[in-house]
């Protein structure tokens, strides 16, 4: 009953009713509130953003080589056939499955726990040598492999977390599976960008994750072990070691910073609903003063679109720059998320009377689309958020997600703001095919993120405006009813009259 009443309230009132009194106002400080917009705030001695899977796969492999007692691999998917490193040169195998087996033989004291979403488990058997690898793992006491089915109907386990000895953790959007590997150059025709077994080429792929150590890594270890237990696995004891698995090749961008950990979890059996990520997104949008920059696979979240719409109507509000892939991977995703994106963006562009909203997609030197799978948000050079959550409804209240956030507005993180600004320039330089200093100098000169991108866009590798096609009647109906992208488990079965993708956005736009 309460949920039905909340849906009838105006947006701002509904936020306060759901999350309590907001402690974030436009232009004001974001006050992290454990239990509302994050789970915990923990300190990391070191933290670093890792961009694209070429570097990530290499670094996570080196870190696992340094493990002493425990490795936790928690993910949406794992493919044992993928190459973790093309040219490491050590004695360990380069492919994921063989590497894990090698660890069991050469590091018998290290226990490896692998948890994968249970949907599509039969596909594992069709992946070449995967069946034999799983049989081998089942005979190896140091390796435990489990499928995670502990989620509401229609939901997915979407976290991508690796924890090593509770001393180092990676958390972000990169799955250890096929079609993820790519370099930051996203070269056309890179021969290393091939699918396992078939050898077929796949498109350039942009992704990201974050590495943290210290108490932040320990907290992610606790979260991963809890997820393992929730999925039906035997309890895992926390390791007690003094090692340092942080890879030598990974330069920390942040030192001695506080990291907020935010989650999404759909209500299931004894597990209550968790919507910290949604609350954090709304607070982050409200926090923005100058700009809000986001890289994400989707843009289909109704509540986030409503929050952006409100800010676009302000005379002196922030700019919003969103990077999306041109076409969403997967037939279902394309049929559901792209029409929803089209509907939401049409309404937002209509509301954008001050011209502060831009949506781009990156392309290679030859104009080939680069797939954006990264989930990064940067606000005003003060907030950096990296995680697994997409900008769609299900990531706000249905799937299991985990995001990390560094807020330089906190006194403990005051010295980190220059690093976040440098990260933004570095990301834009990658997308625009220019040097980071070019981005920095243009940004300083214009004071506008939109103007900077527009001045640096050119031929070859660059950012191009995203052009959307009008969805047909069926696609529009699916998007409007949120039939396959619900905000919570019960909405799969709730009458569609009580839902609707644009049910409040239309009224917000009508004010302009």
Q: What is the pLDDT of residues 488-500, one digit of tens each?
A: 665 544 444 445 6
- Count: domains in the chain: 2
- Residue 318 has, within 13 A of its CA and on its CB side, a CA count of 23
Cα-based distances in Å from 156 to 126, 153, 171, 465 = 21, 9, 17, 31
Domain edge (last residue) among 255, 271, 301: 255
| Residue 512 confidence (pLDDT) | 60
Same domain, 360 and 505: yes
Same domain, 76 and 225: yes
| Residue 410 confidence (pLDDT) | 86
Same domain, 250 and 263: no
The pLDDT tens digits of the residues spanning 259-278 come to 999 999 999 988 899 999 99
Same domain, 228 and 373: no
Same domain, 205 and 327: no
Same domain, 136 and 27: no
| Residue 363 confidence (pLDDT) | 98
Same domain, 290 and 401: yes
| Residue 340 confidence (pLDDT) | 87
Domain edge (last residue) among 193, 222, 255: 255
| Residue 30 confidence (pLDDT) | 61
Same domain, 379 and 324: yes
Same domain, 244 and 262: no
Domain edge (last residue) among 197, 223, 255: 255
Q: Is the pLDDT of residue 317 over 80?
A: yes
C-alpha to C-alpha distance for 134 and 29, rounded to whole angstroms: 49
| Residue 495 confidence (pLDDT) | 43
The pLDDT tens digits of the residues spanning 426-474 come to 999 999 999 999 999 999 999 999 999 999 999 999 999 998 876 655 5
Same domain, 301 and 434: yes
Read off the CATH number of the domain in which 325 is found: 3.30.870.10
Same domain, 124 and 232: yes
Q: What is the DSSP letter of 471?
A: P
The residue segments making up the domain with residue 289 are 2-40+257-509
Q: Is the pLDDT of residue 477 over 70?
A: no
Q: Is the pLDDT of residue 511 over 70?
A: no
| Residue 14 confidence (pLDDT) | 43
Continuous segment of H or E residues that includes residue 276 = helix 276-287
Reported confidence tier of residue 127, pLDDT bands at 50, 70, 90: low
The pLDDT tens digits of the residues spanning 3-27 come to 443 343 333 334 433 433 344 444 4
Note whether 427 and 294 are within 8 A (CB).
Answer: no
Same domain, 266 and 379: yes
């Amino acid at each position: 009953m309460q949920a039905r009443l909340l849906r009838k309230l105006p947006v701002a009132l509904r936020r306060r009713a759901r999350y309590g009194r907001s402690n974030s106002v436009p232009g004001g400080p974001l006050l992290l509130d454990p239990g509302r917009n994050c789970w915990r705030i923990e300190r990391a001695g070191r933290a670093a953003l890792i961009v694209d899977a070429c570097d990530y796969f290499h670094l996570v492999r080196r870190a696992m080589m340094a493990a002493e007692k425990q490795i936790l691999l928690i993910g949406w998917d794992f493919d044992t056939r993928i190459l973790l490193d093309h040219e490491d040169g050590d004695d360990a195998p380069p492919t994921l499955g063989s590497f894990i087996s090698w660890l069991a033989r050469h590091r018998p004291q290290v226990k490896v726990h692998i948890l994968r979403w249970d949907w599509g488990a039969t596909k594992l058997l069709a992946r070449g040598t995967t069946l034999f690898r799983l049989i081998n793992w089942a005979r190896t006491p140091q390796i435990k492999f489990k499928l995670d089915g502990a989620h509401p109907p229609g939901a997915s386990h979407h976290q991508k977390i690796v924890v090593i000895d509770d001393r180092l953790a990676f958390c972000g959007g990169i799955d250890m599976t096929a079609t993820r590997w790519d370099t930051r150059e996203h070269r056309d025709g890179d021969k290393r960008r091939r699918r396992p077994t078939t050898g077929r080429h796949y498109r350039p792929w942009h992704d990201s994750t974050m590495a943290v150590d210290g108490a932040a890594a320990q907290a992610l270890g606790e979260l991963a072990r809890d997820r393992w237990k929730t999925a039906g696995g035997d309890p895992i004891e926390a390791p007690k070691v003094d090692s340092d698995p942080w890879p030598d090749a990974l330069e920390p961008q942040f030192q001695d910073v506080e990291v907020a950990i935010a989650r999404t979890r759909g209500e299931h059996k004894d597990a209550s609903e968790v919507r910290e990520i949604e609350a954090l997104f709304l607070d982050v949008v409200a926090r923005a003063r100058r700009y809000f920059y986001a890289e994400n696979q989707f843009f289909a979240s109704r509540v986030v679109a409503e929050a952006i719409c409100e800010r676009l109507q302000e005379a002196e509000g922030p700019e919003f720059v969103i990077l999306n892939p041109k076409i969403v991977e997967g037939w279902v995703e394309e049929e559901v998320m792209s029409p929803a994106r089209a509907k939401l963006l049409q309404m937002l562009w209509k509301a954008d009377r001050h011209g502060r909203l831009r949506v781009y997609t990156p392309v290679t030197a030859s104009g080939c689309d680069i797939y954006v799978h990264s989930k990064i948000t940067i606000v005003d050079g003060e907030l950096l958020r990296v995680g697994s959550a997409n900008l769609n409804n299900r990531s706000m209240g249905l799937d299991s997600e985990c995001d990390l956030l560094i807020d330089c507005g906190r006194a403990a993180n005051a010295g980190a703001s220059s690093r976040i600004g440098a990260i933004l320039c570095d990301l834009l330089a990658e997308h625009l095919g220019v040097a980071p200093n070019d981005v920095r100098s243009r940004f300083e000169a214009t004071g506008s993120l939109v103007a900077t991108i527009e001045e640096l866009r050119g031929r070859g590798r660059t950012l191009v405006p995203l052009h959307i096609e009008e969805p047909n009647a069926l696609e529009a109906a699916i998007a409007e009813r949120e039939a396959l992208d619900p905000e919570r488990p019960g909405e799969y079965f709730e009458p569609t009259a009580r839902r609707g993708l644009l049910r409040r956005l239309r009224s917000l736009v009508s004010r302009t």
